[in-house]
Structure 1
């Protein structure tokens, strides 16, 4: 499958900026984009910090949904693997990774924020998961690590109910570190990067590796969750959720009576 978007990489002083560029889909990523981000992150030992952002007023809408109306096991496994690799690459990158959230962070884009070490958002940014609304589940961050960041009840609210949260709400929850006006976002992130550049890269790496204890503990949950998603490829809920999203209509999910047998008396 051809990549539907691009990943731009630019060095700004001591920082490496990674920009997701798929504006027609609000910078949603396919497996090729996710793999490219991972490749860049895996080679960032020569800079002091890394910034991930989105092009044209959106941060990231998560994984591409266009193919889910007629999914293939091979294609979905590739997307799941690439997503997991990208999130792990953020955590294993020796340098602090900062999310510069310039718009909507939805679904896997919200989990991208969860994976990043630090996060600065513009006042125009929004946050939230989409899984159960579009026929999926946020198993690589929002059902596990997010609880550590914002608390279990709030994390379940976000993962299960698919609500949207403003930048200020995300700040109050503890999902992000700061909120600034949209026209000040890049300058603010550059100030954070300058602050990072004044610190010891060796001991920042030690601090980061040590802080990954909860992420590492959740790895089994990631693997189990992805395994369940693979088993659900092509399910009625996956097809309906994706179809409704593409058609911009409410989904019509149905209970399967066969899953809930009644007990005769």
Structure 2
């Protein structure tokens, strides 16, 4: 991850293109610090590298999870979206490429979002053995409506930039080579306004985010309790193997293995 100061603007760039900018625990903590350190900027831009915005938290350890490390990553993800909301300056998501799973929730958390035409949006939770509880199952409802938010969060459909604009998830769609110019226009507009009253307006507009806080914490607790579940392992294995998951088949195999173990124990007692 790189932080660049362009005059009064802080650019936070997620730089892990080989994994579509999926972040690990260390990266999440670094991003949190970057947003906290950007309080003296006029605006903050969050973007990605290598033709992707962000694929959310890294899935490489879900197939054989370390409960402690995964719990820490979940907790850091919650702190990250809260850091975006708590940043006193307007935060713009500059999206070029896929924003998926937790990456899509970063877009939800940002104050504004500008996307290139080639960008796509969507959640991945139930498809990969997880759930988008840090924005997609709560705050997204406020932004695009309950039925559409459930469609996105539960069915894991993908949406083009134009569809995201129509839904209300992004503010503007630009040509693929026009992202930085568009961000510059938005920043110029922001810089013509009162920083003090922009901060007041932003903090006041967080009402619905704060209303979702208990729900996010409860959802995070449920994710922690599901660490190591067969659904989590099957979703992660399928994602890494680039195949469709078979959640019901995996459960059936797990049940059969458990029954066989129980039968063997009973046989040993007799």
Structure-1-length-normalised TM-score:
0.93
Verify: 1:63 aligned to 2:57, yes or no: yes
Verify: 1:167 aligned to 2:161, yes or no: yes
Verify: 1:95 aligned to 2:89, yes or no: yes
**Counterpart in the other structure of 1:196:** 190
In structure 1, list runs of 5 or more residues that go unmatched. Answer: 1-6, 259-265
**Counterpart in the other structure of 2:74:** 80
Q: Secondary structure at the match of 2:228?
A: coil
Which runs of 4 or more aligned residues in structure 1 lie more than 3 Å from their structure 2 counterparts after TM superposition?
Answer: 255-258
Report how many residues are paired. Answer: 252
Distance 2:78 2:144 in 1: 21
Distance 1:196 1:38 in 2: 23
Once the two structures are superposed, what CA deviation does each residue of 1:37-69 show, in whole Å capped at 9, x if it has no partner? 110111112210000000011000111000111
**Counterpart in the other structure of 1:130:** 124
Equivalences for residues 33-48 of structure 1 within 5 A = 33-48=27-42
RMSD, matched Cα: 1.0
Distance 1:140 1:217 in 2: 13
Equivalences for residues 1-265 of structure 1 within 5 A = 7-254=1-248
**Counterpart in the other structure of 2:263:** none
Structure-2-length-normalised TM-score:
0.92
Distance 2:39 2:72 in 1: 27
In structure 2, list runs of 5 or more residues that go unmatched. Answer: 256-270
Query: Which protein has the larger Cα radius of gyration, Structure 1 or Structure 2?
Result: 2
**Counterpart in the other structure of 2:262:** none
Distance 2:7 2:184 in 1: 9
Moved more, 143-152 or 7-16: 7-16
1:86 CA drift (Å)? 0.6
1:187 CA drift (Å)? 1.0
